Structure 1
Amino acid sequence: MKAVWMGVVAASALLMVGTAQANADLAKASGCMNCHTVDKKLVGPALKDIAAKYKDDAGAQAKLEEKVKKGSTGVWGPIAMPPNSNVSDANIKTLVSFILSLK
């Protein structure tokens, strides 16, 4: 029985790593990584900093989906984030969920 649980835990860990990589790949393919990195400021804020800023905001998912889709200015400084109308709503939802999951 212990071996079964260890297998389940190992499989879950691999699935989580695979999902995180898929989300990082989606962020890159969507153009997010042209201005953002996961852990340091580039043109825009680090994705982890965005997650930290919105961690206690119950409406963060919807707010950030709107900002990604329509663009944003003045939240993180003078450089505007352009709209991402070429990214599907489903992918925006996935990307924002990924960002908010970062610690």
Structure 2
Amino acid sequence: MKPALAALGLAAALSPLAASANQALAQQKACLACHAVDKKLVGPAFQDVAKKYAGQKDAEAALARSIKAGGSGKWGPVPMPPQPTLSESEAQTLAAWVLTGAR
């Protein structure tokens, strides 16, 4: 029982670090030039994206594909450019973070 509690404690302690690392990745990849956590800039707020995808079983994979491929029409007339330099792992990480409301 103690190892399980220790693992939960470690996960809780690392959670803020993971969120910080994910925000740093979003900053490094220029996501924050067009998006904010809680308000619309050029693109939708990350919290709005999380709400739109809430409850969809394939949300993370779909969002990761959208991040890499770009797109238009989902959030209005301004297209999101493709992000071909993102690795699959980075796209997955960003998608998972955005789906938490960027927390």
* TM-score, length basis structure 2: 0.86
Bigger mean CA offset, 46-55 vs 62-71: 62-71
Alignment of 1:52-67 (within 5 A): 52-67=51-66
Equivalent residue for 2:43? 44
**Higher alpha-carbon Rg:** 1
Counterpart mapping for 1:1-103 below 5 A: 11-102=10-101
Q: Kindly report the root-mean-square deviation, in angstroms, between the aligned alpha carbons of the 2 structures.
A: 2.0
- Give the structure 1 partner of residue 3 of structure 2: none
4+ residue segments displaced more than 3 Å? 7-13
Q: 3-state DSSP class of the match of 2:61?
A: helix
Distance between the aligned counterparts of 2:51 and 2:93, measured in 1?
18
Q: Using CA pairs below 8 Å that are at least 6 residues apart, which structure has the higher relative contact order?
A: 2
Query: Residue 25 of structure 1: SS of its match in structure 2?
Result: helix
Question: Deviation at 1:8?
Answer: 7.2
Q: Residues 68 and 11 from structure 1, CA distance in 2 versus in 1: closer, same or farther, beyond 3 angstroms?
A: same
Identical amino acids, percent of aligned pairs: 40
CA distance in 2, matches of 1:66, 1:76: 16
Residue 12 of structure 2 aligns with an amino acid whose one-letter code is A
Secondary structure class of the residue paired with 1:92: helix
- Residue by residue over 1:7-47, the C-alpha shift from the partner in whole angstroms, topping out at 9 and shown as x without a partner, is 87765433111110000000110111110011111100000
